[in-house]
Amino acid sequence: MTQQPRTQSEIDRLRETVLALEQQVAQVIVGQHEVVRGVTIALLAGGHVLLEGLPGLGKTMLVRSFAQALRLRDSRIQFTPDLMPADVTGTNVLVEREDGRRTFEFQPGPIFANLVLADEINRATPKTQAALLEAMQEGRVTVGTSSHELPRPFFVLATQNPIELEGTYPLPEAELDRFFFKLQVGFPSRQELVEIVQRTTGPDGHRPYAIADAQTILALQELVREVPAASHVVDYAARIVLATHPDLPAALEVTRRFIRLGASPRAAQALILAGKIHAVLAGRLNASYEDVRRVAVPALRHRLILNYDAQVNGVTADAVIRQILARVPEEA
pLDDT tens sequence for the chain (332 residues): 444 445 677 777 888 888 888 888 877 777 778 888 888 899 999 899 998 877 777 777 788 888 888 888 888 888 888 888 888 888 877 777 777 777 777 788 888 988 888 888 888 888 888 888 888 888 888 877 778 888 888 999 888 877 655 557 777 788 888 899 999 887 877 887 887 787 777 676 667 777 878 888 888 888 888 888 889 999 999 999 999 999 988 788 899 999 988 899 999 999 999 999 998 888 888 888 999 999 999 999 999 998 998 888 888 999 999 999 999 988 87
Q: Print the SS3 string covering 66-126.
A: HHHHCCCCEEEEECCCCCCHHHHHEEEEEEECCCCCEEEEEEECCCCCCEEEEECHHHCCH
CA neighbours closer than 13 Å in the CB half-sphere of residue 165: 0
The pTM (predicted TM-score) of the whole model is 0.84
Distant-in-sequence, close-in-space partners of 242: CB < 8 Å, separation ≥ 6: 248, 250, 262
Going through the chain in order, the beta strands assigned E by DSSP cover 49-52, 74-78, 90-96, 102-108, 115-119, 140-143, 146-149, 155-160, 181-184, 259-261, 305-306
Say yes or no: do domains 8-82+112-218 and 228-327 share a fold: no
Alpha-carbon span 263 to 253, nearest angstrom: 16
Q: What is the residue extent of each domain of the chain?
A: 8-82+112-218, 228-327
Q: Does domain 8-82+112-218 have CATH number 3.40.50.300?
A: yes
Q: Which fold has domain 228-327?
A: Helicase, Ruva Protein; domain 3 (1.10.8)
3-state DSSP call for residue 228? Answer: coil
Tell me if 35 sits within 8 A of 43, measured CB to CB.
no
